[in-house]
Amino acid sequence: MHLFSPTFLGLVALYAVGREQIIAMPVRWVAIDSTRLVEELITHLHDADPVTRERAARQLSQLGASAKGATSALAGSLKDRVAGVRAAAATALGSIGPAAHTAAVELKRTLKDRNPCVRIEAALALYLIELRPEPSVGLLVESLTNTDFLVRRQAAGALSSIGPPASPAVKALRKALKDDSRSVRREAAEALGNIGQGASIAIPDLIAASRDESVFVRWESVAALSRINPKSKEVLVALIVALADADMNDAISACVRRTAAQSIGKLGQRGKPAIPGLLRLVADKDREASISAIGAIGDIGHDADEVLLVLRKAIRSEDQELRQAAAKALMKVTSKKKR
């Protein structure tokens, strides 16, 4: 079997280096027989050092379904005296997926763990194994009201990972968009976007969040709106406003503008009201935002004189990628005009 085949994912020179080096090395960069690797990491789950036990569990989580052989040992680690080890074990079981079904009973017990972060990891793992939203979504919704913002953020992130089946959490996530913590608001916006059309009732909340003081929250909210219902007139207005997003952190603000332009482009001719904003964005100092605006103009296919003028100017740009985008957009616009 070839050295770098999937069967051989693991740690190089597994037995040639010390325990600390083995556990600290990232799985994805090295290669040996994954069965031997899993066996070795299982022994580290029983190590006297809690840091070693936690690292072993996290290494197993990187192996995904290949770590199936560690299911029983990981289920045992859910009873570890150290919360970090218990949480890492739950994460690893979730990464194994349905193949770790024998650990479901122990994970359900862990939903009552004294540590809220462990409970959240167990809830997400249980969903990834059983592919049923309950009882996982219910526990995560409850965790959104925890007094610790880190717990609330983790819960929103877990709901985001579940996606559409987490629709029963929409009401709680709408409230989370008004959380005092911007990181919780950002995770809540992403979760609603990943739920998709099932979160349509949250559109007004996300439109408000697209004007949040935090540029990170604005970015996730704009992205979420485009995933839930970009064809809504109210959403289009919010996307047009986002084309002019400005912030001290311009690198992220440019991502807001870029995301808005790309979302508008997907609307085709319905995005025509955004043309003035897109034309202004073509001159943006962020080249990716400019290219996104040009692409959106081409997808909309509006052939007004001012559009042709801007595209022809862009074709003379010194930036090759920008020139190519402008030429492609101009071709789309003129071809639609001929029809």
Q: What is the CA radius of gyration of the chain?
A: 24
pLDDT at position 256:
98
Separation of alpha carbons 335 and 220, rounded Å: 35
The β-bridge partners of 9 are: 31
Residues 6+ apart with CB under 8 A from 116: 143, 146, 148, 151
Whole-prediction pTM:
0.86
**Are 136 and 148 within 8 A, CB to CB?**
no
User: Of 104, 199, 116, 112, nearest to 153 (Cα)?
Assistant: 116
Residue-by-residue pLDDT tens, the chain, 339 positions: 333 334 333 443 343 334 444 444 454 444 457 889 999 999 999 999 999 999 999 999 999 999 999 999 999 999 999 999 999 999 999 999 999 999 999 999 999 999 999 999 999 999 999 999 999 999 999 999 999 999 999 999 999 999 999 999 999 999 999 999 999 999 999 999 999 999 999 999 999 999 999 999 999 999 999 999 888 899 999 999 999 999 999 999 999 999 999 999 999 999 999 999 999 999 999 999 999 999 999 999 877 889 999 999 999 999 999 999 999 999 998 876 555
pLDDT at position 303:
74
The three-point CA angle 246-193-151 to 5° equals 90
The three-point CA angle 128-132-133 to 5° equals 95
Residues 6+ apart with CB under 8 A from 42: 56, 69, 70, 73
For the stretch 203-212, contacts whose Cβ atoms lie closer than 8 Å and that sit 24 or more positions apart, written own/partner, are 203/228, 203/229, 203/232, 203/234, 203/235, 204/234, 205/174, 205/177, 206/177, 206/238, 207/234, 207/235, 207/238, 208/177, 209/177, 209/185, 210/238, 210/241, 210/242, 211/241, 212/182, 212/185
pLDDT at position 257:
98
Separation of alpha carbons 206 and 186, rounded Å: 11
